Every structure is written in C-alpha cells, then in structure tokens.
Amino acid sequence: MQFQKYRRFPQVPIENRQWPSKTIEKAPIWCSVDMRDGNQALEIPMNLSQKLRFFQFLVDMGFKTIEIGFPAASDTEFAFTRYLIDNHLIPDDVAIQVLTQAREHIIARTFEALKGAPKAVVHLYNSTSTLQREVVFQFDRKACIDLAVSGAKMIRDAIAADTSNTVWITEYSPESFSGTEPDFAVEICDAVLSVWQPTVENKSIINLPNTVEMASPNIYADQIEFYCTHTKWRDQTIVSIHPHNDRGTAVAASELGILAGADRVEGTLFGNGERTGNADILTIGMNLFMHGIDPELDFSDMNTIIEVYEDCTNLKVPPRHPWAGKLVFTAFSGSHQDAIKKGLKKMAEHPERWEVPYLPIDPKDVGRSYDPIIRINSQSGKGGVAFVLEQYFGLYLPKAFQKDFGAFCTKVSDAKQSELLPSEIFQLFDSTYVNYVNPFTLIQYKEESKDDSHAAVHAKLKKDGMEIEISGKGNGLLDAFCHGFAKEIGQSISIMTYQEHAMQTGSDSAAITYVQIQTDDGRISLGAGISSSVTKSSLRAIVSAVNRLYNGTK
C-alpha cells in the first residue's frame, strides 16, 4: 500500500488543554440532520409521505431542532418546507433549520420558503479549508471572509425586513472546518458574528463541522477548544459540532467535542449520511443514558425507532449496531449466558442499581429483552428460523418466506417432538423451496432484449421427462418468462415479491433468488432458485414456485 503519499495531520497549537480532565454532565442540544444530510445520502430519497412520517417521529422523540433541507436548491425541498408551515405541522417549540449559501437569490428564496414558520434556523455556510480555498475556489483568506460576511449581511437584512412573528436564529458553518487553520476559523466566524451582533439573550450558532474526518478525535477536540478559547463572542454563541465518520470515530469525536466546549451536536439516527456517515445521535444519546445522564431524547421503544427508520430510508440497521442491533442483547457463549443469568439473579438485592455482566443497560429500558442463543423447536417463531438461516448459512428470507417456513418448521418439530438443528433447518428449506424440479425443469433459455422495457425469451424445459419449449414477451426477462409459462399451464402468473442476494463472497459465488407468484385464480406460491448466474437463479425460482403449485403446496 502506498502510504508514503499521505501526511500526518498537524497538531493544534494549544497549550494547557482542559478537555481531557472534564466529564460530560448533561446532554447537548440536539439537531437532527436526517432530512438533509441523511436524505441526500439515500440512493432513493424519501418521498413526501416518508418525510412527513420521519419529521413527526423526530418531533415525538424530542428533537427541538430539525434540519429539513435546502429549500432554495430544488422545488421539491421548497415545497416540503411550505407544506410543513402551511399545514401547521411544526410545534411552536420546534425550530426547522435550512441551509443556504451566500448568494442573494438563494437567500431570498430561502426566506420565501420560511415565511410564517414559528421558529427557524437559517444556516449559512461556505467552505474555509486551506485545500478548498486553494484548489476549488482559488481565493485567499480575505476573499473567503468577504463571501461569508456578505451572506451574513443579506441574512441580517432579510430578518430585519420580516414582518411575521417568526423567531429567527442565525447559524454559520465554516464548512470544512476540520481542514481549516485554527486561527482563520476564529477570524472568519468572528467576522460573521460582528455582522449579526448576537447577545447572551439572543445567541447565534457557530457550527464547526468535521466535514472530512482528517485526524483522531483528540485533534478535533483541540480544534473545538481552540475556537472556544479564542473567539471574542463565546458568551453570545452556541457552539455546535457536526462530525462526519470518515475514520469511523464520529461518536468519539462528538463526545470529545462536547468535553472541549461544544453545546450542541448535529447528527443523524444510526449515522446515515454521506460519505461514510454522520455522528450517530442514537449511540451518543444512549452512551449518556448508560452513565445515568438524561439524553433528553426518547429511546424507550428501540424497535419502533428501527421500524420507522428502515421504512422511511430503505436502509437496514446492522445486527451489531450499538444499542439497537438485533443481536446486542443476545448471548451465544455459554459462559456469557451463565454470567448474565447470575447477574440478573443478583439484581434482586439491589433493583435500583443496574449491574449485570455483559449487559451495560437493562434491555427493558429500550423495549428489548435479553435473549440467550436461539434454538428452534415447536415453540419457536418465524424470526428464530430466519435468524438461524441468516447466521449459519447467509440466507436472508423475505417476510413471506419467514412466515411460511416458520410455520412449516413448527409442524415438523412438533411431529418429531425434538429441537431442529441448524443443518436440519437448512435441509428442510432446501428441499421445500429451492430448485424444485417436478414436474418442470429448466434446461436452457435465450433472451432477446429489444430495449430496457421490452424483452422476449425462448426457453426449453422438461415436463415429466418430456422436453417442451415456451416463448414469451414482457417488460423484462422475468415477465416474458412468466408470460411464456402461462401459456403452458393455462394460468397467468404475476410476481408479487422478488429478492436475491449472493450466498458467499468471491467472483464465483452462487446467487439465491426468492419469488412469490400469484396466478389469475388467486393462488399464491413461493419458490427459490440457486445458480452462479442471478438470471438463472431467478428463472429457477419461478419454476420452483410453479412446481409447488402443481404439487399442492404454496
């Protein structure tokens, strides 16, 4: 690896740093940027209904500041801002926050979007790092300050001209602060504050983003402390931090940043954001909770938090995510199970103080429970079966398969009057759904794609040992294959659900496809296919599902 072309980040010129000897005594002011940083990082951004659901959920969790977007950047974000305001969906004690650049038409459009909001944070930013100034913008320190000051003046004048009852809060970010010379960061922020003239009673926000995490968290803490001890406006400002996760230490950087003097944290639930993510507010808040500090956000129903997050973002919470992963309160090791069992028993002697080995908090406080290793028997549910197939064999069953196969395993276990081992569960799944070849077997196929939305397929199959041919057309290969198959079985076939994934890593890895089909007479069937080719595994899955219909299974 060519490590020689990289340089160590320089130390911050700070003496007698104070933050290492401090402790966090209370929760910071939280600002969710899920609807801006989080939403712009999604492959498919949230639609209106998802945005509304997510916004309301953030409010219900206790967020008092929510960054909702960049309304001057697109009609979609402008319309969403107006929707919230015009439909009175923003509680009086909640501030919506929006981003703007230092351009007159953008600032004008921003204030047009915010007209009538009960409380609004106007967040001005421009990039200040040495690298950005020299490479991207090609201007010196003075030109950088002039740009920030001009934007600050435009915002000041727009607020002065406003005749509504909106409570206005100003915020400035020296974007790419993490790569900015510490003295220049102070200089440009003080120049902006000199325009806004905040007071102790009406503070401005100075947000110091770790835009690119360029150094270890202690360096970021030094940068924050340097700013706090050198600015002329410390008493009149709320110092905010916005850590990104390029080095995987955004949570640590946030905690050290608070020690260094930050009053406020901008972040997202589960750390979603470009490029490697933002600071994970849920983890930071739960870290406070485990030390007996009120996080001032409601994490008591972790399952619902996960459900809303996954439904709105189409992202998945990893099973080992701190505090929220589905396995964090599960013990597989026998020695761990024994220690936890003894710790829970000991709790009867001091129920007011939580002390259990391997469990830093009571799972019940976040709506969970402690689970030992999952074993599948007649009392097991669909989740347990899916868990075993995922953990032992890397199979990620869709919900329809989980329900169907879970019930099937329960019947088998009940009939055997014994526990099912993981290998038995896998064999049952394989024989029940995968590459089911009676009466139909796929021999070969040929696809003729006309364009992205039109395809034709010609396939050879065996039916009860006799070779047959089918042909079909559709808006894709699978649709064309179903069309051809329908003529053979005398029933139309539609694919209700489709999911596929690799079964192992490597260029020669096999793929498994799961499908749920429905015929025009309402019958539903599940099938799975495995092949080194995703296309072939998909066609085999359809054949399996049809065969299961023929054999009286669904």
Give the model's pLDDT for residue 335: 67
251, 263, 253: which is closest to 171 by C-alpha?
263
Residue 325 lies in a domain: no
Per the domain annotation, does 333 fall within a domain? no
Whether 179 and 214 have beta carbons less than 8 Å apart is answered as: yes
In a domain, 332, yes or no: no
**What are residue 77's phi and psi, to 5 degrees?**
-70, -35
- Domain termination site, one of 267, 288, 313: 313
Q: What would you report as the CA-atom Rg of the chain, rounded to the nearest whole angstrom?
A: 29
The domain containing residue 284 runs over which residues?
25-313
Contact 177, 209 (CB under 8 A): yes
- The answer as to whether 6 is a domain residue is no
Quote the number of domains for the chain: 2
Structure tokens at 293: 């500090």
Contact 4, 210 (CB under 8 A): no
In a domain? residue 128: yes
**How far is the C-alpha of 322 from the C-alpha of 251, rounded, in Å?**
11
Predicted local distance difference test score (pLDDT) of residue 229:
97
- Residue 12 domain-assigned? no
Residue 145 is part of a domain; what is its CATH number? 3.20.20.70
**210 and 227 Cβ atoms separated by less than 8 Å:** no
Average pLDDT on 43-59 reads 96
Residue 518 above 50 pLDDT? yes
For the record, the structure tokens of 408 come out as: 């099937």
Residue 503, domain member (yes or no): yes
524: pLDDT strictly greater than 80: yes
* Rounded-to-integer distance, Cα 522 and Cα 102, Å: 59
CA–CA dist 363, 302 (Å, integer): 10
Q: What is the pTM of this model?
A: 0.69
Closest CA to 517 of 502, 487, 533, 539: 539
Residue 316 has pLDDT above 90, yes or no: yes
102 with 249, same domain: the answer is yes
Question: What CA–CA distance (Å, rounded) separates 251 from 273?
Answer: 14
Give 164-219 pLDDT, tens digit per residue: 999 999 999 999 999 999 999 999 999 999 999 999 999 999 999 999 999 999 99
Token digits for 331?
A: 């013990």
pLDDT class of 436 with cuts at 50, 70, 90: confident
Q: Please work out, in degrees rounded to the nearest 5, the angle formed at the alpha carbon of residue 40 by the alpha carbons of 37 and 42.
A: 110
Whole-angstrom distance, CA of residue 286 vs CA of residue 462: 58
**In the chain, pLDDT over 70 holds for what percent of residues?**
94
Q: What tokens were used for 364?
A: 């019940």
Residue type, 105: H
Contacts for 320 with CB less than 8 Å, ≥ 6 apart: 327, 328
The CATH number of the domain where 476 resides is what?
3.30.160.270
* Domain end among 257, 284, 313: 313
Has residue 87 been placed in a domain?
A: yes
- Both tokens assigned to 119: 């409380």
Are residues 445 and 308 part of one domain?
no
Give the residue from 265, 293, 313 where a domain finishes.
313
d(CA 405, CA 291): 42
Q: Is the pLDDT of residue 384 over 70?
A: no
Q: Is the pLDDT of residue 373 over 50?
A: no
Q: How far apart are the first and last CA of the chain?
A: 53
**447 and 298 assigned to the same domain:** no
